[in-house]
A = this chain, B = another copy of it.
Amino acid sequence: MPELRKDPTSETWVIFSPERQRRPQFFTAHGEYTLTSANCPFCEGNEDMTPPEIHSLRIANTTHDKPGWKLRVIPNKYPALKVEGLLDKRADGFYDKMNGIGAHEVVIETTSHTRGIDEMEEDTVYEIFLAFKHRILDLKRDIRFRYIQVFKNHGIQAGATISHPHSQIVALPVIPARTTDRLEHAQSYFAKKERCLFCDIVQHEIRFQQRLLLENGEFIVFAPYAPRLPFELSLYPVHHYAVFEEMEDAALRKLAIIFRDAIGKINKALDHPPYNMILHNAPFSKDNRYSEHFHWHIELLPIISGTGGFEIGTQSFINPMLPEESIKILKNDK
């Protein structure tokens, strides 16, 4: 059984999942993937290599866990957290722990073993965001969960073990440290200004223009004022939405277009780097208490140089590139 333990010095929870030691490593020491479409568990025809699907987008008259799909959502075979059981929060001597209750799902984004987001049809990218929305709406009905973390690791250096395009959804019984932290700042900003911090950032960046990469009326993509990594990008809805899952399907279509364009810009300027996509959402709350303070958004982190224990140990970042410069490169103006 996985467990969560609280570090008393930072008051953050760490997930311990010994089962993930059994995960096969599908890449070599030199960073090359070893799976081909014949033995890839995410390829069409290999449905029996994965746990049964939770959700799928299928061609008419095809059966679940058989070929004929366009997108599949499956439980992670080596889950960080388990769905069955009670949290059982308890003391462990001097410390605090609870059972590792949660969900860990994989969104297999396409049948193609190698296609990048920017090579997919607009419709395929839209269906990925639609799958996130469906799964969040379903998972948030479980009162044991307090946060759903949607993310994508693309490339070995970004943490992916399988190259076949996929994203992950983790439902957590606790709120991640960075989310709590940023939520607190947003609440204190709102208390002072009676405005959403993120709305103010969006408006500032639209006026300032020099960190803006893309805009389409409903969404903007920009380099944040103080990015921790070179080429880090933020994608925000222009208007105020606290949570991703309240977006209309039509808006998700516009999101798909701008997201695909952003990945295209990154791939063109930086020659297809590994990257992480992180969806920052407001945590669940029955009384919608965060609806005015938080504003969902996506963080896009190309992995250009290594990050290691130093950043983890200090949470200090030394970025060799100002965001205005990285935007020039991404726009290909330089």
Contacts and interface: CB of A to CB of B under 8 A. Distances in A.
A309 interface: yes
Interface stretch (A45-53, A116-124, A223-231): A223-231
Given A181-B10, A198-B9, A159 B310 contact: yes
B197 A318 contact: no
A312 B320 contact: no
Contacts of A149: 314, 316
Given A15-B316, A306-B159, A95 B151 contact: no
Given A30-B30, A226-B13, A276 B308 contact: yes
Given A9-B182, A30-B30, A186-B9, A307 B307 contact: yes
Interface string A286-304: 0000000000000101010
A98 B303 CA distance: 27
A317 B10 contact: no
A317 to B, nearest CB: 5
Contacts of A135: none
| Most chain B CB neighbours (cut-off 10 Å) among A7, A80, A301, A314 | A314
A276 B310 contact: yes
A159 B313 CA distance: 13
A200 B95 CA distance: 11
**Interface residue tally of chain A, by bracket?**
35 or more
A204 B94 contact: yes
Contacts of A280: 313
A197 B8 contact: yes
A157 interface: yes
B308 A14 contact: no
B178 A278 contact: no
Contacts of A308: 153, 157-159, 274, 276, 301, 303, 307
Interface string A157-191: 11100000000000010001111011001100100
Contacts of A320: 16-21, 23
The copy count of this chain in the complex is: 2
Contacts of A14: 226-228, 317-319
A178 B315 contact: yes
A275 to B, nearest CB: 7
Contacts of A159: 306-310
Given A30-B30, A226-B14, A176 B310 contact: no
A95 B226 contact: yes
A201 interface: yes
Contact of A7 (B157, B225, B276): B225
A57 to B, nearest CB: 26
A321 interface: yes
A134 interface: no
Given A9-B182, A94-B201, 18 more contacts: A5-B226, A12-B226, A14-B318, A15-B318, A15-B319, A16-B320, A94-B204, A157-B306, A159-B310, A176-B316, A181-B315, A276-B313, A280-B313, A301-B309, A301-B313, A303-B308, A307-B307, A307-B309
